[in-house]
Structure 1
């Protein structure tokens, strides 16, 4: 099913969450839980889109078959009313192309292609990688620049070059290089989405159009209000929301983001389950701290006596 945005400046809307992949207590895939979580995020939390099988979806430890199953479950649940973007990036161009084709066959509305990690190709290799991924399907592509995970960045010149491809339409920016991002928004038509919740507001100031968030699993509506306030000219109101949300934005990343996100979702009674090794479950101290961080941003999660039950990896 093809979906198009009513605003060409933001091809996937304003508020997108990189969704966790729920697992059962034994670590097996919980496709029903994924559908339930996606429905709640879209229908109750107002998300415009979801990234499935991204880093927060533990794509490194899910099989291709599991990726297809969870993508199809989410598409069936919310694909008629939200953008469903499939994470397909790997360090192998051929595998990335295979995943992109599978995502298109499943009905995804777009793909997210991260910088190839570990093997650290030259920029010329990145251009070929992204171009082949975009050529493989008719889907719009969002690139993902996160050098802290991949070991290298996508340079401004490379982004300018690949932005000429008609299907490379967006960038998830988690680089923290505001000057570089400003040049990208000046020199290309890429829709830039913040890939780091705590800097969404400053990125808006230099041309970003939204966020692909992680704390937005539980803080989506106020994040969306912050973006809308800034765009409407209410900078003071947007800054007040940014300051209110900052403890949560930072707290979800005190350790690996998916670990804390699943802990917070379990406290909220939402489908999540455990993480898969080599990630490890949140400790009781970390669970207590995420409750504090969320409370500081205005959301009370669970009671203290729930913590023993929820650690380490209770089923939903």
Structure 2
């Protein structure tokens, strides 16, 4: 597939942000995460997304995190900066900072908690689209935001010519058909559904499980896109235990990503910022078992 068809890469992980025991940024640890991901199958990274605990980081911290990651991975790795908040002014500030820092793309989630209607979503997205030049990836995750982007809203956005991609975590892989017909590059935002998304036209994934299984996810996607469906299905079956271990528990996301990174020796802790709490001993043991069952450690 051409770079136009997959404008932000194929396998991107929404990377975790490392913290010291006192809750301050651990930029050295964050750089280790970034290098680990690039060395294990990722051709792009999403910085300061949900798994990066962006609701708990400041604009200034997001700038420091992005600069540290770019320093760690160099200019050849696609970096997508998470800029989504539930305040348009703050989102515009983050977008300007990310573009000034050389972001290759901008991840723009629907505003959460205040739950704007479809007109409000369009108003928010349009202000960002008009103020930026980097490719935008919309992020639809109604389980976290409380609002699903409607089909007619996507149709309107498609006329702007400014949104390149959609990270779809709305739970329905069949929607990829509509989105691709509208001209968006679709990325699965739900690891267990990635193979299904590919079947409906998606070009890649923005993953959480990629912290532990980036190479396997990459192999699955390339097998599918190359027509080797049986191999893709085999890899997907192999990954079921780690999907369940990292995505099937209430505390998934940053907590399970950091648990996996600790189990793999990338981090020596699994610190997160409140209100998220680290995996407890039983949850960590279950995660280790899932990694082992999937052949990842």
Q: Which runs of 4+ in 1 moved over 6 A?
A: none
Corresponding residue for residue 201 of structure 2: 207
* Structure 2 unaligned regions, length at least 5: none
Where does 1:14-93 land on structure 2 (aligned, <5 Å)? 14-42=10-38, 44-93=39-88
**TM-score w.r.t. structure 1 length?**
0.90
Residue 235, structure 1, aligned to residue 232, structure 2: no
TM-score (norm 2): 0.96
CA 1:166/1:79 → structure 2, altered by over 3 Å: closer, same or farther? farther
Aligned residue for 2:239, secondary structure, equals helix
Is the contact between residue 14 and residue 52 of structure 2 (CA under 8 Å) also seen in structure 1? yes
Q: Deviations over 1:46-102 (max 9, x none)?
A: 311000000000001111111110001111222412110000001111111111001
Whether the aligned pair in 2 keeps the contact of 1:274 and 1:281 (CA below 8 Å) is yes
Checking the alignment, whether the CA contact within 8 Å between 1:25 and 1:273 is kept in structure 2 is no
After TM superposition, give the deviation of residue 273 of structure 1 in Å: 4.0
1:1-316 alignment runs, 5 A limit: 7-42=3-38, 44-186=39-181, 188-253=182-247, 254=249, 255-271=251-267, 273-300=270-297
* Distance of aligned partners of 1:75 and 1:181 in 2 relative to their CA distance in 1, 3 Å threshold: same
- Show structure 1 runs of 5+ residues with no match: 301-316
Residues 270, 278 of structure 2: 8 Å contact kept: no
Residue 124 of structure 1, CA deviation: 1.2
Structure-2 residue corresponding to 1:304: none
Q: Structure 1 CA distance, aligned partners of 2:174 and 2:69?
A: 36
Within 1, Cα distance between the matches of 2:26 and 2:173? 38
RMSD: 1.3
Q: Is the 8 A contact 2:168 2:190 kept in 1?
A: yes
